[in-house]
Structure formats: structure tokens, C-alpha cells
A and B are shown apart, each in its own frame.
Chain A
Amino acid sequence: MKNHASDGAATTPPFFDPKSARLRRIIFFSIVVVINLVATFCLADLFRSSSWHRAHFPLLGIFFILNGLLVLGSFHAVFGAIDMLRGRRRAVRITQLADGKDGPLKARYAVVMPVYNEDSNRFCARIEAMYRSIEETGHLDSFDFFILSDTRDLDLWVLEEVAWTNMCRRLGALGRIYYRRRKKNLSRKAGNIGDFVRLWGGGYESMLVLDADSLMDGADILKMARVMEAYPRLGILQTPPRLIRGASVFTRLQQFAMRLYGPLFIRGLNFWQLNGGSYWGHNALIRIKPFSEFCELPALPGREPFGGKILSHDFVEAALMVSQGWEVWLAWDIEGTYEEAPPTLVDHLKRDRRWCQGNLQHLWLIFARKLPGTVRMHLFMGIMAYLGSPLWFLFLLLGTWLAWDFTASGLSSLPAPPSLLERFVGITGHAHGLILISGVFILLFLPKILAITAALFTPRVRKSFGGALPLIAGTTLESFVSLLLAPCMMAAHTFMVLSIVCGRAVGWGSQNRETDGTAWADAARFHALPTLLGIVWTFVALEVGVVFTAWMSPILLGLLLGIPVSVLTSRSRYGKALAKHKVLATPEELRLPHILRLADNATSSIDPALEASVDGRYGIVAAVVDPYVNGVHVSLLEGAKLAEEYRILAEKCLSGGPAALSSEELTEILYLAPAMLMMHRAVWLRPVDGIHSTWTNAVESYRRRSTATLLAAEA
């Protein structure tokens, strides 16, 4: 370990022998490279036997990369399966450091949830569930909770304050759950976490970083804290979150696939990454001291989209941590860790647009000094997750060109020289091609085959997915829809990469977590280019020949059906129909975990005694008119004096309503305690004709409500 790490860390022996770790990595990557080289050689031999064409050379180069990625992915599953077969005891499991440990925690921990224009009641329900779950372990005193708001919508800001206050009030958690909103959301989520670390980080040993849709079981959080205390070399402990609450077909497909195939990949990943793991941005425990020392993100050379501020901060933070001698582990056996997924293909691709730009920025880090090999591998895999699509697209284009040229020139009908395999092993050109294609298909479907086989032959797992039939039906449906979605994703990612290369930077949008589905018009607009591409490509393929069109049909169908597939998979009613028959069901869906039940029953953020979402008194209006909402809002502001210019602005807001001010002006007013107090007095004191109807209607609504309440009571 490098001398940057703390003394305690330096004197602690490593959890896993570095030599054995190196050996594991050599074995894993050697196999991947060798298999890829063999496959590439086979293709080259096939090309040679069909006489060289100009397109063959780039095709071979691209095949080497794409097949490499395919082998890499498949062998994660293979090694994961081997690791599973060897048994839990023989697997490398960092959480074993917490086995048998009890007693109070030595340090204090922060649970931090950055939020950005989210539904406040929903994220508060998750906080409440985790609060109650940790409370059940009896270690609540060691944890503080922070809602770190970067919300820009001013109404939502007020709703967040109200939801948080209600939650604290009803849980008795004042001084335990905190809420902070940043006035300027510099550097997005990374800046938000950084701001927390700068202000309060010194008070905590570690922070559990969550997303607004994250949910974690208290016992697992406690276990992670114990691992952190037991192993001072540990910088980040990442958990593999499971997808939950999928309603649309698209989300259910994702959560089923991740739940069924995910564990194999996770175990395979853990096989080689070990202490050189990665951080996925949430559901991870981070040691704060080294994070503050080494993980402030440097700016990349040049401007956005490739340069400037780093968008995908998580990988880089893990890289910086590992490069300084701290260990980053994946706690693969932590089960109570959950997140939600985008509900539709459109939402998924919108999120991918941000991730794509962020991951492509990592190209710079490949060339950074002092980064260990595992870190570079993670960065490379992240980059290729998006760069793979344009390469695949190019591969298909070159293949089409080749087929076109062969058909047009009649070269394919010429007698071909024998391939090396034919000459030395006796495999004919036809069989050679079939073997190669079969090999690629086996690699493609191997993880699915391994996962379904393991699930079917393990009664506990089979039962947890609803039985053999739902499991087989789910896998078949998932495989079929994945085949249709893949070309659409490929085209979308290709256009994303192209737009980024052309200099279009991405903004920071909030994530849609609802499943109200995609409208046909929206889908048509969003998938217009891939569909058009599919139409043109189909004509070209038909021109080449029927056989070639048949070969290309999975790709062409995926492109042509992009719009209907996107719309139909976005519908939650079809998702519910599938759920009724346990198709695409996950164990969490069939047997709701305790933490999810806690979250479902969590309603402490909703209380009629303090509300800011009533008709006529929504958000900002409530913050001005309602005595309690105003009291909460002002109490969270810093003291200030009301300068004349802001007094004028406040008067303008009173006479013209909130719409009379620009968003920036309104923000300034909302941040000024004296202005908010002055406006509160004014709306109650001034005669009806002296202020805007927004305020008078809001004041009047209390009387209407009281009358309505009385009438309801009498009824």
C-alpha cells in the first residue's frame, strides 16, 4: 500500500494476497485474449479462403474488438458460474470481515441522498424506510441522514422542505435527518457530494452514498459499516443494487435480466477485480477522509463534451482512490440493496446520453499516469459500452458493402482456395463459417444459458422466480425482446456518439421514474432516424439478395420495429398482465423484502398539518402564505437584511404574483428570510385589492377548507 493511506491502513495486512490477485487477473484476461485471437484467426482464415477484399481488413479489426468485448462479457458469466460452483465459502467475500461481529460501532456514519427535482414524498419514504430499518438494528445513534438537494424547481424545493419537516416531526428525527439545498448546483452530483464532504465530512468516518431511487436494508448498511471498521485499507465498498418496482414491460425486462443473469456477472467481476473495483455512483459506502483528499475531480483538457468537467464521476473517483493505494471492493453478497430503473426505452436512452458523454470523457484517463491495470480495465469497459455500438454499426455496414460487392461482381461464385482449417483439419469453408457463427452465438447466449440452467436446477432459486414455467417464459420473452431492442440501442448509441463527437454537450435532466408510457408521437420522433435507417437498409439488403436479407433480418427488424417496440414495452398495463402470470417476475416482486414493505408503508412525509401541495397553495405560494410552511422555510435560511432592490422585488411579487418575477428573481426572494417574512405579513394584512389574486385566493382557501371540513364532519 502506498504511503498516502492512513497509518492504520498501512499496518493492516491485505485482505487478499496481491500475488494471487495478479494470478487471477492473468488467468482471466489470458483466456479472453486467447479465445478472441483464435476467433479472429478463424475469421481471417475464412476471409483468405474467399479471396481478400478491401472491406475484410477493417472488418477483421472491428471483429477483434467486438468479439473481444463479447468474450469478455461471456467469460465474466463463466467465471461467475465457476465461482458459484466452488461455493460461497471458497469465494472471495470482503463482507466476511463483518461475520460474527456485534457490539456498538466505533465511528459515525452519514447516509447521504442527493436529489434533483424528484418527488419529495417518494424519496422521503425511502429515507424513512432506511431510518426505521437501521433503528431496528439498534444502531441508529451511529447514523445521520442527509438529503442533499440540488433541486432547481422552486415549488419542488418548498415541497421538499415540507416533506422533510413532516418526516422529522413524525419520526422524532430532528437532529438525525438533515436537509440542505444548494443555491448553485456546481459540478452536479459530484459537486453536491463534495459540498457535503467539505461542510460536514469531518464528522463522519464514512458516507453511504445513495441515489434518489436507492433503498438499502438497515442490517446490510450496518454490515458494511462493520466491514469499513474492520478493514482500514478499504476506501469504497460498492454493493450491486437490484432493480425493483418495475411496472412497464421495459423495466420488468431489465429487472428480470439483471436479477437472473446479474449475479453471474457480479461474481465474475469480483473474480478478477478484487481490491481494484469500481464505484457505480450510489449504494456504496465511502471512507470520507481519503475521498476528500484524493477524489476532487480534476478538469479534463479542453471543453465539453470530451473535456471540461467530468460527468461520470463515480468511475473516476474509484480510480483516484485505487491509484492512491486505497482498496475498492464489491460486496457481491449484500442483498438488501435496491434501485429503480428508467420506465421506458426513451427514458433509458435519455439517461444513456448523459452516461455516454461521461464515459467517453474517460478516454483521457486511459492515458493518465499511476493508474493500476484494473482501473484502466474498468474505464475501458465503460467506454466500450458505448463505443461498441458505432463499431458494431460500422461492422454491419462493411458487411453489407462486402455482400453487395460480392453479389455485383460475382466473386462469390468463383472457386475459392482452401482455408488453413480445411487444409490441416479438414473443415470445409461452409462448416468453417458455421462453426464461427455458432461460436459467436454461443458466446452471446452463454450467460443466459448458464443463468437459466443454474436457476432451473436450484430449487430455491427456481421457486423464488415463480417456478420453472414462468422462468422459461420470462427468459424466452426477455431474449426475444432484447434481440429486437439491440439494433435500436445500437443505432441510438451510434447517433449519440456522433453527436458528442460533433461537439453537442448534454444537460442535466431529472430522471423520469413514472411509468405512464411513451406516446406514439413521442416514440416516432425519438426513433425516427433508426427507423429511417432500417427502411433504407432493408431496400439495400433486398437488392443484395434474399439470403443476405434473411441474415440481416434480426438487425433490420429491430430497426424497423423500433417505434412499436418502444411504445409497447413502455406500457405498464402489459407489464401488469405479465406480472399476473409471474412472467418476468423477480424474487423481490414475489416476496416483498422487509425494507420494501417499510418503504411502501412510509407516509411520515405527508401530514395535513403541514402541506404545500394544496390547490391554490402550491409550493412557493404556500411558502409565502401558510404560517407553518413559511416558518419552516424561513427557519432554514440564513439571517440577512432586506436591501431596497429586493424589497422592490418582493412588492412586485405581491402585486403581480409569482409569475411577475423571473426564476432568478424569485430564487433570490426565496433565499431572503426578511423578504419571505415581509411577504407573509403582507398577504395577511393587506386588503384584497392591494395584492395579486394568487395570494388572496390562497388566504381565502383556508376559510373554504374550514367550511368544507365542517360540512364533511356534519355529513
Chain B
Amino acid sequence: MVLSHPPLASLQPLTESELDEWEEAYAAVEAYLQALRVRNRLLVAELVRGILWRASARRAAEPEMPARLLAMEEALKEIADWTQQVLDEPLDEGRLAARGRLALLLTDMPGKWQGVFLTPAPWPEEFQAAMRRCYLTAGPHFAELTMEAKPLEFNAIGAGAAQWWETMNRRPIVFKMFGSVLLLLIIASFWFIFFNR
């Protein structure tokens, strides 16, 4: 493996606040790569450094932008652009991001293809084919049927009961039933206590 990064001689001095800011940016990008389950520490460090390098280049042109924002934008853009190239599919930006992440998961990038992640073309054919094949759907193509309820046909008793049930006001009947039962219970209790001796 050849590591392609600028030599240490090209490093420039940074202030404490700049260091803190880039530390936060580093942490965010590293966490995102961890969230993508890229486990190899060297690979993570390489990718983070590459992304931060680009962000720092942008920072020169956009000094008011926070380092974390620039770094994460670069990270997300890099991943989206790369998956766009691998998938070779016309997708809008938002969909592409989700589609790309899903394809990475379903092809088991963290398990099988870490070394290929974010590298330029050409990619292994197996990997590219797997990426393009991977998508999720809630179901196969629709094969629709209609379901319509047919009203129940009742016999004479059922029809009469249905008419009565739909039109009557049940509440007073229920209240009366309850009242009667309660009254009976009270009378029975009184009788039991005072007269049954």
C-alpha cells in the first residue's frame, strides 16, 4: 500500500483556537466514518486526513465557515460523489445519499470492501455489480386486486333487529337496567340485614 499524503515538512503552525476547531472537525469526520463502520484505524486516519485537507483548502476561500461544517460537507459530498460514480445511476442529491449508504451497507462494505471505500475507479467488478444490485423495496411490483364489502343480507329477525338496534337510543335502557339491578341489590341487602332473623 502506498500512502499518498503531503510530507510533514509541508505542515504549517496553527493557533490554539484553530487547533480546537480542527479537532472538532476531525472528531466529526472520524465519528461519521465510524458510523459507516469503517473499522481500520489507518484507513480511517487516511480518509479523515484527506477530507480535512480538502476542507482546509476550502477554508482559505471561505474563512467565515466553521471547520466542522466544511469538513462534514466535504465528507458527505465525497461519499455522495463516489457512490454516484460507482452506482452510475441518475439520482437526485438527497436520494443518492440514502441510496449510496444503503448500497454500502448491503454490499457489506465494512466487512468486505473497506479498502475500496472512497478510492478512485477502477473498482473490482464484483464490488461494483453488488453495489448496483442492492436496493430495498417494500414489495414486488403491484399485482392489484379489488376487495369490496357486500352488505349483509339478514333474514326477517335479523333485519328487524338491525333496524331497531340502529334507531333506538340505548343509553336510557342501559341506565334503567343498571338502576333496577342496583335498587334490587339495596332492597335485598336491607332485607337480609334487618328482616332475615
Contact = CB atoms under 8 A, between A and B. Distances in A.
Q: Say whether A and B bind each other.
A: yes
Interface of A: 144, 146, 165, 168-169, 174-175, 178-181, 194, 197-204, 288-289, 292-302, 306-307, 364-370, 408, 501-503, 608-610, 625-628, 630-632, 634-636, 639, 673-674, 677, 680-681, 684-688, 699-700, 702-703, 705-706, 709-710
Contact of A631 (B41, B102, B159, B165): B102
Nearest to B69: A685
A198 B102 contact: no
B31 interface: yes
Contacts of A368: 152-155, 158
Contacts of A297: 149
Contacts of A625: 35
**A-B residue pairs, 6 tightest by C-beta:** A367-B158, A202-B143, A631-B101, A203-B143, A301-B162, A634-B98
A702 B39 CA distance: 11
Given A180-B139, A501-B174, 16 more contacts: A168-B136, A169-B108, A175-B140, A194-B147, A298-B152, A302-B165, A608-B37, A628-B37, A634-B94, A677-B98, A685-B68, A685-B72, A688-B24, A702-B31, A702-B32, A703-B30
B145 interface: yes
A204 B170 CA distance: 46
B31 A200 contact: no
Contact of A686 (B36, B69, B108, B141): B69
Interface of A is mostly: helix
Contacts, number: 195
Interface string B50-84: 00000000000000001011001100100000000
10 contacts: A174-B135, A200-B144, A301-B161, A301-B165, A368-B152, A368-B158, A632-B105, A677-B94, A685-B72, A702-B31
Contact of B105 (A179, A200, A628, A699): A628
Contact of A178 (B95, B98, B137, B153): B137
Interface of B: 24, 27-28, 30-32, 34-37, 39, 41, 66, 68-69, 72-73, 76, 94-95, 97-102, 104-106, 108, 110-111, 134-155, 157-159, 161-163, 165-166, 170-171, 174, 178, 196
A197 B95 contact: no
A307 B165 CA distance: 9
B27 A364 contact: no
Contacts of B28: 684, 699
A610 B110 CA distance: 11
A631 B68 contact: no
B145 A202 contact: yes
Contact of A502 (B31, B104, B135, B174): B174
B162 A292 contact: no
B182 to A, nearest CB: 13
Given A197-B145, A699-B31, A703-B27, A631 B99 contact: yes
A203 B141 CA distance: 9
A561 B97 CA distance: 62
B102 A635 contact: yes
B136 A198 contact: no
A368 B143 CA distance: 33
Contacts of A705: 34
A626 to B, nearest CB: 6
A294 B137 CA distance: 29
Contacts of B101: 627-628, 630-631
B67 to A, nearest CB: 10
Contact of A628 (B36, B142, B154, B159): B36
B139 to A, nearest CB: 5
Given A297-B149, A367-B158, A627 B32 contact: yes
Contact of B166 (A194, A302, A502): A302
Contact of B154 (A169, A369, A686): A369
Contacts of A165: 105-106, 136
Contacts of B146: 198, 292
Contact of A684 (B72, B136, B162): B72
A486 to B, nearest CB: 25
Given A178-B137, A178-B139, A369-B153, A201 B105 contact: no
A295 B147 contact: yes
Contacts of A369: 153-155
A292 B140 contact: no
A635 B98 contact: yes
Looking at B27, B100, B108, B152, the one whose CB has the most chain A CB atoms below 10 A away is: B152
A297 B159 CA distance: 18
B19 to A, nearest CB: 16
Nearest to A166: B105
